[in-house]
């Protein structure tokens, strides 16, 4: 299986590096993704989802070092949360930087998750930039919990589809979301 994963990562990277959009299994649900620093690719994700660019997107980072490159200052509590958490957790950080403007919320924050599956960590590490990770559905429709539930419209709109066999590490459920402030503020958005 490791050879297959390496092949799939190489194919997905080729698409991502030329500004394409992929459909892939995350540690939670299937995601639509692109290079989070490529504004045109991010715009295509919004178009596929029929989602307003006023709504922000979740990103995946391979580790806290990558998070630190794209956040001006990581709140201390974030490090503790990442180290002790054993379930998928998206943290909304203040002070996003070096990202496509259309992935950053109006208040300058951005939601980032360090995935708990090897496929996503390897893909993001090889991309060397955060990866957009928004659920694989038209905005307002039910989030699919597995590949079989993804609309054919979504599948045909992306540039590359990761084989469904790799969804084995997905939970089929959305991550918890926590918003952090620089002065220790913690707001639970989704438990």
| Angle subtended by helix axes 118-127 and 2-17, to nearest 10 | 40
170 vs 147 pLDDT, higher one: 147
Could you tell me the two tokens for 21? 């959009």
pLDDT tens-digit readout, 86-106? 889 999 999 999 999 999 999
**According to the model, what pLDDT value does residue 84 have?**
85
**pLDDT category of residue 3 using cuts at 50, 70 and 90:** low
**According to the model, what pLDDT value does residue 2 have?**
54
**According to the model, what pLDDT value does residue 1 have?**
47
CATH fold of 2-190 reads DHBP synthase (3.90.870)
pLDDT tens-digit readout, 51-78? 877 778 999 999 999 999 999 999 888 9
Q: Where do the H-state alpha helices sit in 50-183?
A: 64-70, 76-84, 118-127, 152-157
Q: What is the domain partition of the chain in residue ranges?
A: 2-190
**Is the C-alpha dihedral spanning 154, 118, 80, 69 positive or negative?**
negative
2 vs 67 pLDDT, higher one: 67
> What's the whole-model pTM score?
0.92
């Amino acid at each position: 299986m490791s050879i297959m994963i390496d092949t799939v990562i190489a194919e997905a990277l080729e698409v991502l590096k030329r500004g394409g959009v992929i459909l892939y299994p995350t540690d939670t649900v299937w995601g639509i993704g692109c290079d989070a620093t490529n504004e045109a690719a991010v715009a295509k994700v919004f178009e596929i989802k029929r989602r307003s660019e006023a709504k922000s997107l979740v990103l995946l980072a391979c580790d806290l070092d990558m998070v630190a490159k794209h956040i001006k200052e990581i709140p201390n509590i974030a490090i503790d949360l990442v180290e002790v958490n054993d379930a998928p957790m998206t943290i909304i950080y203040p002070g996003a930087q070096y990202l496509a403007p259309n992935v950053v919320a109006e208040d300058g924050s951005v939601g980032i998750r360090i995935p708990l599956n090897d496929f996503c960590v390897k893909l993001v590490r090889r991309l060397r930039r955060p990866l957009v990770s928004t659920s694989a559905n038209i905005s307002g429709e039910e989030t699919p919990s597995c590949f079989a539930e993804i609309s054919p419209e979504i599948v045909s709109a992306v540039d590359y589809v990761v084989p469904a066999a790799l969804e084995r590490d997905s939970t089929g459920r959305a991550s918890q979301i926590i918003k952090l402030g620089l002065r220790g503020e913690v707001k639970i958005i989704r438990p």
